[in-house]
Chain A
Amino acid sequence: MANSAVGVIFSNIQDKNIPELSARRAIASVPFAGRYRLIDFALSNLVNAGITAVGIVTKNNYQSLIDHLGSGKDWDLARKDGGIILLPPYSNETDAPYTNRLEALKGITDFLRHRNEEYVVLCDGETVARLDVSDIVRFHEESQADITLVYHECHCTPSRYYMTVETDGDSRVTAVKINPKLGAGKEKLYINVMVVHREYLLNIIQNAVQSGFSSFGRDILSKNVDTMRIFGYRFDGYYAGMASLAAYFKANMEMLDKNVRDELFGARDIYTKVRDSAPSKYIEGAVVKNSLISDGCIIEGTVENSILFRGVKVGRGSVVRNSVLMQDTVIGALVKLDCVITDKNAVIRDGRQLCGCEELPYFVSKGKML
């Protein structure tokens, strides 16, 4: 497996799902679960399958992503051959940067052509799941598939753009639907992870360019289920999609479930950038219940059902409930928060009370002082 596949991660195809968080960063670099960025899950899944070359497709606002990835050493991807290869868009006077997946793929044909791995594993940077990529590639080989789509059976939350599949008894995909109407039942939701032969992918891209296609899902997958061997790999584990700010909030809260944590973090490592923060400190009188606390926090108040990222401070007499506080958020004294998401470096001054609800968490943007 080790050198038979190259990874490709799309870092901002889904930016528009959570404009609040991706206004100034690619969705793949949105902080998640206390000390991670969303892309850490896709990257770690690839690395844990022995993949040593990962192209990262970027478009705009990728400073935060570059800062996070650095040389790739934290994922063991600082390598002479392969490692992390950032793929910013080409653009000139006639060609604007890509607006869809197909154009994004067109932009990385040189990268795909120059690799020598047999397969390409394509992932979106915000998919949170512990996927056994080796097993997916094995499945792809054994089914002699042209394309393997990974799906998860669930009651889907509709997002801006989503795809469902139908499969037959042999796991062959018989239909691919774009933004279908959702009934009460479960759907086989495509979770934006795909395996394809590298040469085959290059052919698809070339044909698509010649035919003037614009959508990978609509023009290629859904129209060719009869002619292409498209297979569905069923993933039954924990999956969190980032369809909206509410979905992001819900997924963070799901990390408080021990079973979810054990599945995501237990068996194999999830790698992330290291910050050398001091361990967290609980000052006398602090009360912390059912919460995840990352390193570098200093807690003097009460924290319940919440996720605290690195370096968060909660002042004396403050009560933080059902909230997600990102890196270096400072909560003053006697503050009350319920269902709040604060982006990095937010400051909530003494005595403030902020309250949202699960469907509509109150959002405090990056660096804002309230």
Chain B
Amino acid sequence: MQRKKECVAMLLAGGQGSRLYALTNNIAKPAVAFGAKYRIIDFPLSNCVNSGIDTVGVLTQYEPLELNEYIGNGQPWDLDRSFGGVHILSPYQAKKKSSWYEGTANAIFQNMGFMKKYNPDYVLILSGDHIYKMNYAKMLRAHIETGAACTVAAIEVLPEEASRFGILNVNEDGSIYQFEEKPKRPKSNLASMGIYVFSADKLYKYLEEDDRDPNSEKDFGKNVLPAMLGAGEKMFSYRFEGYWKDVGTIPALWQSNMDLLGAEPAFDVGDASWKIHSRNPLAPPEYISETGKVDDSMVALGCEISGSVRRSVLSSNVTVEEGAIVSDSVIMSSAVIKKGAKIYYSVIDENVTVEENATVGAPKENAVGITVLGRNITVAKGASVPSGEIVDKDYKGE
């Protein structure tokens, strides 16, 4: 008997995330740090394993080095399986033609061989840029029950934001009668989450047709889904209620980090029934010194805190020296905030050093915007980075 998997997940992780500016200069968006110890990709990967899906293809293209290293053999997610498990799928050279991934649909099309190897009945398409907890098994069950060719996960968004999304217009039973990609006058506020379950044979069929169409942009939302609907395929929406956040912009990334704070957070990463798995830092517990103050914050292992930290999220091995202030900020791993330095309303990437008495940003109530410091840079002693600035080189200015 041929071995098979009921469902294979394909995770689109090639995005550059250009609206994260300095944070994605050298890494792909799904590898961006989130919530003190996670990377964005931990969420869809953990959702997969928690939903019983143990075969995941991760499609990478933009700056894949760090993402590949992070995923490794998949062991932190229990995805080091002998049949199945996690596999990095990069664009490759083929005998007849070779090309970069041209769109979401083309990326999946180019990896048809990977999917077919597992002979799946269903394929789950995911993207690597959202923070959420979702049981894909429930969605798969709904897909099987309705007998749809494709099921699209959908969430209600604020009506004023609906025109930023792919909007689904649905009948009472949840079946989809129309797709509108970023409509000017949306008929509904039911947005596509970019999560699709396809019956495998239908997916192969429409991907092949899409590949032959020279006018197609090779995109699921713009081309493949409308084509399927046009051909009269049965398509259903699957309603998701709960926290779901696109962290593709600096303000959204910042806000989503803040949503983790408090005794009753908007989004709980400590939920034992739906663990978020990740690579864990090798570091001792964090140490808060005699002079340290930590209030309304999340702090990861290996931090040494002698200054004051308020309403902030600190990743592993961050040092906050005596007299330093960190407020309303997201600090990624191994940053050093020296004596008397002040960090307000900022996102600070890995390995940044802020020298003594430097100031980064302005208190949130007076700030123009979120200040961003890119990886590995140093802010000179006494220097002052204005609010809203995005810095990706050593900063010496006043």
Contact = CB atoms under 8 A, between A and B. Distances in A.
Interface of A: 33-35, 73, 255-256, 258, 261, 264-265, 269-271, 274, 276-296, 298, 300, 307-308
B285 interface: yes
Given A276-B276, A279-B300, A282-B294, A292 B286 contact: yes
B44 interface: no
Interface string B280-300: 101111111110111111111
Contacts of A255: 284
B261 interface: yes
Interface stretch (B7-15, B98-106, B262-270): B262-270
Contacts of B275: 276
Contacts of B75: 73
B81 to A, nearest CB: 14
B301 interface: yes
B192 interface: no
A269 B282 CA distance: 7
B270 to A, nearest CB: 4
A295 B296 contact: no
B296 A284 contact: yes
Given A35-B301, A291-B288, A281 B261 contact: yes
B283 to A, nearest CB: 7
A300 B297 CA distance: 11
Given A276-B278, A286-B294, A294 B301 contact: yes
A265 B289 contact: no
Interface residues of B, number: 37
B338 interface: no
B374 interface: no
Contacts of B276: 276, 278
B262 A282 contact: no
Given A33-B285, A278-B269, A293-B285, A283 B277 contact: no
B181 to A, nearest CB: 36
A280 B299 contact: yes
B140 interface: no
B277 to A, nearest CB: 5
A357 B269 CA distance: 37
A270 B282 contact: yes
Interface of B: 35-37, 75-76, 260-263, 269-270, 275-278, 280, 282-290, 292-301, 304, 313
Contact of B292 (A274, A289, A307): A289
Given A35-B301, A282-B294, A295-B301, A288 B283 contact: no
Contacts, number: 104
A332 B285 CA distance: 22
Given A265-B284, A294-B301, A289 B263 contact: no
A265 B304 CA distance: 13
Given A276-B280, A277-B270, A296-B270, A282 B298 contact: yes
A81 to B, nearest CB: 19
A290 B295 contact: no
Contacts of A271: 282
A282 B310 CA distance: 9
B295 A282 contact: yes
Contacts of A293: 285-288, 299
B280 A298 contact: no
26 contacts: A33-B285, A73-B75, A261-B287, A265-B283, A269-B282, A274-B280, A276-B275, A276-B276, A277-B270, A278-B35, A278-B37, A278-B270, A278-B276, A280-B286, A280-B300, A282-B296, A283-B296, A284-B262, A284-B295, A285-B295, A286-B295, A288-B292, A291-B287, A292-B287, A294-B285, A298-B270
A35 B302 CA distance: 11
A258 B321 CA distance: 13
A336 B275 CA distance: 32
A295 B284 contact: no
B284 A289 contact: no
A295 B288 contact: no
A283 B261 CA distance: 8
A274 B75 CA distance: 11
Nearest to B80: A73
A176 B270 CA distance: 52
Contacts of B288: 288-291, 293
Contacts of B301: 35, 279, 294-295
Contacts of A261: 284, 287
Contacts of B313: 279
A286 B311 CA distance: 12
A307 B295 CA distance: 18
A279 B285 contact: no
Contacts of B304: 258
Given A270-B282, A284-B295, A289-B292, 18 more contacts: A34-B284, A35-B301, A261-B284, A265-B283, A269-B282, A274-B76, A277-B270, A278-B269, A278-B276, A279-B301, A280-B300, A283-B296, A284-B296, A286-B294, A288-B288, A288-B292, A290-B290, A298-B270
Contact of B284 (A279, A286, A292, A300): A292
Nearest to A274: B280
B266 to A, nearest CB: 13
A255 B287 CA distance: 10
A296 B301 CA distance: 10
Nearest to A303: B288
Contacts of B261: 281
B270 A34 contact: no
Nearest to B282: A269
B294 A270 contact: no
Contact of B285 (A281, A286, A300, A308): A308
B299 A279 contact: yes
Given A284-B295, A286-B294, A286-B295, A295 B289 contact: no
B175 to A, nearest CB: 39
A366 B3 CA distance: 45
B11 to A, nearest CB: 19
Contact of A300 (B35, B263, B283): B263
Contact of A298 (B263, B283, B290): B263
User: Which of B37, B269, B282, B283: most chain A CB closer than 10 A?
Assistant: B282
A221 B35 CA distance: 54
**10 A-B pairs with least C-beta separation:** A34-B285, A278-B270, A279-B36, A294-B285, A284-B296, A292-B285, A279-B300, A278-B269, A288-B288, A274-B280
Contacts of B293: 287
A271 B295 CA distance: 30
B362 to A, nearest CB: 22
Contacts of A270: 282, 284
